[in-house]
Amino acid sequence: MAGGQSLKQGEKILFGIAIAFIGFAVLAYLALEAYRLRASGAVFEVTTHFDLSADGQRGSELFRTHRCTACHRAMRNGTNMGLSLDGLGSRRTQEWIYNFLRDPEAVYGAKTFDHGYPPKEAASVSLLPSEELRLISIFLSELKSDQGSPSAPAPPKGESAFVDNMLKNFAPESWKEKYSDVREKEVPQEKGNAPSE
């Protein structure tokens, strides 16, 4: 510093804490990268997939040119901050998606945040030409997920040690007669949702 002033005690502690945080973040990043580079397979299991038809392909182009990716993620493109649409086609039918894009609040049956009427941020979506919305809804309905994926309607098959342990240790005996294990059943589909495959 200009006047040769030394740091006060409190400043030293604050700087020390900040440097410790930064140091930890750098080390953690390096460790993760080293692990990722050495790992033979994918570090995270990929549980969503897509196989686009010609219409779906055109819809995916519209999805990008209309900047849906500013708020959404699909096919591993777009932002991580918003709602991910990967796997959407395993939860919603193409018809549901089309109707949502056209008239969001009516389909949600509740207030929406970004889709809807101006001045909402994504208000322009419902004003797109029908043909474009049709292609986009086909694209989104072709994004599928595996059972147990966070975006799938059905929970993981009954093979989670964690869930099994929680059930064993915490679920009262009486529950066993009262409830059945949803992991072993067909998951009931809500109205408008896609049937499970």
Please say whether the beta carbons of 88 and 151 come within 8 A.
yes
Question: Site mask, ligand HEC, residues 101-120, x = CB under 6 A?
Answer: x--x-------xxxx-----
Q: Which two tokens stand for residue 64?
A: 């990008």
Q: Specify the residue, 35 or 113, whose C-beta has the smaller distance to ligand HEC.
A: 113
Q: Specify the residue, 37 or 110, whose C-beta has the smaller distance to ligand HEC.
A: 110
Neighbouring CB atoms inside 10 A of 104's CB total 22
63 near ligand HEC, rule: CB under 6 A: yes
Q: Which two tokens stand for residue 102?
A: 């056209």
Question: Site mask, ligand HEC, residues 138-167, x = CB under 6 A?
Answer: --x---------------------------
d(CA 146, CA 155): 10
| Closest alpha carbon to 73 in 64, 81, 60, 84 | 84
Q: Which two tokens stand for residue 4?
A: 């040769």
Q: Specify the residue, 123 or 163, whose C-beta has the smaller distance to ligand HEC.
A: 123
Q: Which of 58, 89, 122, 153 binds ligand HEC (CB under 6 A)?
A: 122
Encoded amino acid at 83, one letter: L
Q: Which of 50, 60, 125, 149 binds ligand HEC (CB under 6 A)?
A: 125
Taking CB under 6 A as the binding criterion, the range among 9-17, 40-48, 65-73, 174-182 that sits at the site for ligand HEC is 65-73
Q: How far is the CB of 182 from ligand HEC (least distance, A)?
A: 20
Q: Which of 66, 84, 163, 183 binds ligand HEC (CB under 6 A)?
A: 66
Q: Which single residue is written with the structure tokens 């990716």?
A: 69
Q: How far is the CB of 47 from ligand HEC (least distance, A)?
A: 17
Q: Which two tokens stand for residue 167?
A: 């059930």
Residue 95: HSE in the Cβ half-sphere, 13 Å Cα cutoff: 5
Taking CB under 6 A as the binding criterion, the range among 33-41, 44-52, 82-90, 146-154 that sits at the site for ligand HEC is 82-90
Q: Specify the residue, 172 or 195, whose C-beta has the smaller distance to ligand HEC.
A: 195
CA distances from 11 to 16, 17, 75, 149 (A): 8, 10, 47, 47
